[in-house]
Structure 1
């Protein structure tokens, strides 16, 4: 992005620039996501648009009416959404390009009267009565509004066995990624459910709050630079790292191998997820999500095995290693079922294959109080590493179980080492803004101003498979919430608000796969975001099964032979 002459220095402090309008400069992470929205605007969709999901049920006690409880829940959700705006007003902000200053800005407008409040609610609190579940609706190409919007999905009863006394609502948050990130979305949904339960219990007392008089602007969240107290002028140590990063980007790559040399091993061949090629596969279609659930017993077996035999190795390390090797195995095991655009290494050449990827790191622990808490969940507080993860593997499948287990553990060690290197890097928090800036594409001024649209980027030549870990989601999202109804039944759970299936994803408009990992209520969920232009649900599910089987076989002492 060009810097105009006389441009003022960046100002990341929220300021009231005129009555009712608060504004600050967007920081590097926010600009990255805003720029990608512009880059893919020609698709008619929003790249990396956040979709957050949570399902709510109430088993209505015998002395209560399901119809009455259902209406109370809907009213309470609406009140909770309004209160959420007061406590985390950044949810009503938006990022835009200011052509006059040549900068991206984040703006927030207050709602000074009842009419404005009602207009905002009518726009951002949408009830969906198509009969679909929240997950079905999320896969149906839902709108991606320019401002964060809560969709309350009312699923139809799909089975005669379904208990008619159970009230269910599925909540879907849709938002640009420059407003909120994945962990922040889960924190927001938990906060919203907590407020919904309070509104249900407390009735009119809760409904009197809040009063929108502009005071909510004091709760606006700063950008990551401010939240993490990143020095505006790098320290000498930080500057040395920044210089080294810049040098690694501009330094020439290794010279190509000499074709006349008979003894030189070819460089590793990059591998990605296979997909169809041709003129019909240039533009993205609908974003889709599919998920697999591991049984509670298998989930426990995996975590127990790691703690006992490989302390320090995480479930994320485990599945990331399985992703890399499953990609390698695909052309070796399914050549008859899928067309592969990647040439295979020549037998006997010794050439290896290379898996390249990156990781996203939650930076809330790097932030100062109170920005490290859910009070500032509506924020983009995560980072990319300064270097990519690179794993080189043999291009052939090891011949027996012992060799396959050994290979898996070698790949697992490389991935763990990479994760721990980022984790233990004391300078990383301060380098994050510069890394985001390096990853941000430069766009023409006319595109930034909205006067033109970019040509839709071509599919990636080597689309990789990434993994984002949500961790133990129970630490973020509470499962049970008291509604003040008399709990009944043998388990005492009647009359309480129960949370199911919390998840979050970013809209996938490329030909890669985005895998997500998280555990909730003792069940590990392995899910994947993909685009239907390049991938079918069947193929994505098969790939996830490959990954799961590899992990399970390793934990259970199996031969790890791919199917």
Structure 2
């Protein structure tokens, strides 16, 4: 296997410089960024957020604890670079070989280590919270960077030091679940550093290259060639997906027309109380679906509900895809948090479709008891449809070896920078949809308490530069959060919050809560 994947293995090309080719998942995100380069923004760039607090003991002061927290996190970041050197890697285009490569350059001395720390660990103190800062069109530096945001004091005399921590990173370096694992690893180191500031020993950089992460194709043992059967199936999938859009009206996200260039990425969120979350989870189990299936069903139904009503009933089709965390299919230690800074997920091949009826404008409203029962039945049907689609992927023995092809299906051409310095910005998608990414039970990935650090409100988004919605679902300490990413060129906060609330209402009504 290794010889077949030689081009995907890290190799030293000059002293201290390591390179490898990208696999199809990484190339997809790199090519999307390149396609939208003319916007000055980075498609699907990762924002990983978490809030932290540390109590101020009576023997100390706010300024001393703040300094200790900052120093502990900085030292943890240095240790993280040794454990996960991929966080200091980047992608560049090799003009000679006409392809993209992932690059890592080892630290040569203390000065270069200090320069890296200054460049990639940045304090933000401008009166914003971390969430507000993330919605202010923040930069995506060349290398993964931690921004330590100091929020305004909520209460005068609060005996707690609070910060919001934000990781900004290109998506060809790390994915959403990987970001959560990386944050957990960071705070494990920070906890140790906080307790032992005086005895801190810097990692001995020089051999950290052994920890560079290979791409998904290698660690999942995916063959270089598909079988004849798999190739035929891929061709059938392409044809099938194309046919799904013919002679049918699509359920699309309404957006402001006439704007050609993306604006700033934004995120809004809806958090359910613990009691409501518990009731949702229990009701989902009762009908045999997961909370992800339920909210994915709600997205499809909510999208149908915002379509214009006309004089007669008509059918619309929801089309989307699934993202699947594939770390469990990777060989050890790549299946573990030791290799968090990676793109170890797949995308579904066959499109997910749900056909639904948009009722005529004169039909009964949703408060009618018959209509409520019809909607509950519809919700169960759609949720089970979602469940079956996810199960079809999980049970498909050919899914893994075919994932590189699925990624390639969605990858735009990467235009050579030497001949296309400024590629034209893609036109806005006129039939946008709404997708969902499930982070699962986040406190099973990130420990809420780590030494003196109390952690809260972890979330991840990918920079949205399109006309659709990207929804994210996760549970933290018994509270479910549904968040939405959108672009402010085509949508506003009130509109997206209304959509999130509609999705939640659909779930609650469908589960008879």
Q: Give TM class, smaller chain.
A: over 0.9
1:530 aligns with 2:495: no
Any gaps of 5 or more consecutive residues in structure 2? 365-370
Residue number in structure 2 paired with 1:476: 445
For 1:351-399, what per-residue CA distance to the aligned partner results, in whole angstroms no more than 9, with x for missing partners?
Answer: 4100111111101011000000010000000110111101100121785
Q: Partners of 1:49 and 1:411 in 2: how far apart?
A: 31
Q: 203, 209, 214: which one pairs with 1:217?
A: 209
1:38 aligns with 2:34: yes
CA gap of 1:356–1:293, structure 2 versus 1, over 3 A, is same
1:295 aligns with 2:273: yes
Q: 433, 436, 442: which one pairs with 1:467?
A: 436
- Alpha-carbon offset, residue 100 of structure 1: 0.8
Q: 307, 318, 322: which one pairs with 1:331?
A: 307
Q: Secondary structure at the match of 2:435?
A: strand
Q: Partners of 1:255 and 1:286 in 2: how far apart?
A: 32
1:74 aligns with 2:70: yes
Q: Secondary structure at the match of 1:112?
A: coil
CA gap of 1:253–1:365, structure 2 versus 1, over 3 A, is closer
Q: Secondary structure at the match of 1:195?
A: helix
Give the alignment of 1:444-523 within 5 angstroms.
Answer: 444-445=415-416, 447=417, 449=418, 451-482=420-451, 496-523=452-479
Q: Partners of 2:421 and 2:486 in 1: how far apart?
A: 27
CA gap of 1:146–1:450, structure 2 versus 1, over 3 A, is farther
Q: 197, 200, 219: which one pairs with 2:194?
A: 200
- Alpha-carbon offset, residue 253 of structure 1: 6.1
Residue number in structure 2 paired with 1:357: 320
- Alpha-carbon offset, residue 457 of structure 1: 1.1
Contact persistence 2:5–2:224 (CA under 8 A): no
Residue number in structure 2 paired with 1:310: 287
Give the alignment of 1:146-165 within 5 angstroms.
Answer: 146-160=142-156, 163-165=157-159
Residue number in structure 1 paired with 2:387: 416
- Of the structure 1 ranges 545-554 and 175-184, higher mean CA displacement relative to structure 2 is found in 545-554
Q: 536, 548, 555: which one pairs with 2:511?
A: 555
Q: Partners of 2:134 and 2:419 in 1: how far apart?
A: 28
- Alpha-carbon offset, residue 99 of structure 1: 1.5
Contact persistence 1:38–1:453 (CA under 8 A): no
Residue number in structure 1 paired with 2:185: 191
Q: Secondary structure at the match of 1:155?
A: coil
1:29 aligns with 2:29: no
Give the TM-score taking structure 1 as reference length: 0.86
Runs of 4+ deviating beyond 6 Å: none
Q: Partners of 1:30 and 1:10 in 2: how far apart?
A: 17
CA gap of 1:415–1:157, structure 2 versus 1, over 3 A, is same
Q: Partners of 1:366 and 1:227 in 2: how far apart?
A: 8
1:83 aligns with 2:79: yes
Q: Secondary structure at the match of 1:353?
A: strand
Q: 162, 170, 177: which one pairs with 1:168?
A: 162
- Alpha-carbon offset, residue 62 of structure 1: 2.4
Q: Partners of 2:121 and 2:355 in 1: how far apart?
A: 48
Instruction: Count matched residues.
Output: 502
Residue number in structure 2 paired with 1:271: 251
Residue number in structure 2 paired with 1:485: none
Q: 107, 110, 116: which one pairs with 1:111?
A: 107
Q: Secondary structure at the match of 2:403?
A: helix
Q: 34, 49, 55: which one pairs with 2:51?
A: 55
- Alpha-carbon offset, residue 539 of structure 1: 0.5
CA gap of 1:360–1:224, structure 2 versus 1, over 3 A, is same
- Alpha-carbon offset, residue 243 of structure 1: 2.1
- Alpha-carbon offset, residue 251 of structure 1: 7.5
Q: Secondary structure at the match of 1:131?
A: coil
Give the alignment of 1:227-306 within 5 angstroms.
Answer: 227-234=219-226, 236=227, 239-249=228-238, 267-278=247-258, 281-306=259-284
Q: Partners of 2:405 and 2:256 in 1: how far apart?
A: 36
CA gap of 1:541–1:19, structure 2 versus 1, over 3 A, is same
Contact persistence 2:376–2:511 (CA under 8 A): no
CA gap of 1:426–1:251, structure 2 versus 1, over 3 A, is closer
- Alpha-carbon offset, residue 435 of structure 1: 1.1
Q: Partners of 1:290 and 1:255 in 2: how far apart?
A: 32
For 1:170-202, what per-residue CA distance to the aligned partner results, in whole angstroms no more than 9, with x for missing partners?
Answer: 111001100000000011011111111110012
For 1:504-543, what per-residue CA distance to the aligned partner results, in whole angstroms no more than 9, with x for missing partners?
Answer: 0000001110000000011000100000010010000011
Residue number in structure 1 paired with 2:336: 373
Any gaps of 5 or more consecutive residues in structure 1? 1-7, 258-266, 333-343, 483-495, 558-563
Q: Partners of 1:428 and 1:475 in 2: how far apart?
A: 27
Q: Partners of 2:99 and 2:160 in 1: how far apart?
A: 50
- Alpha-carbon offset, residue 346 of structure 1: 5.8
Give the TM-score taking structure 2 as reference length: 0.94
Q: Partners of 1:210 and 1:9 in 2: how far apart?
A: 31
Residue number in structure 1 paired with 2:172: 178
Q: Partners of 1:149 and 1:37 in 2: how far apart?
A: 18
Contact persistence 2:90–2:103 (CA under 8 A): yes
Q: Partners of 1:122 and 1:199 in 2: how far apart?
A: 19
Q: Partners of 1:110 and 1:194 in 2: how far apart?
A: 24
Residue number in structure 2 paired with 1:261: none
Contact persistence 1:10–1:25 (CA under 8 A): no
Q: Partners of 1:528 and 1:255 in 2: how far apart?
A: 26
Q: Secondary structure at the match of 2:319?
A: strand
- Alpha-carbon offset, residue 209 of structure 1: 2.7
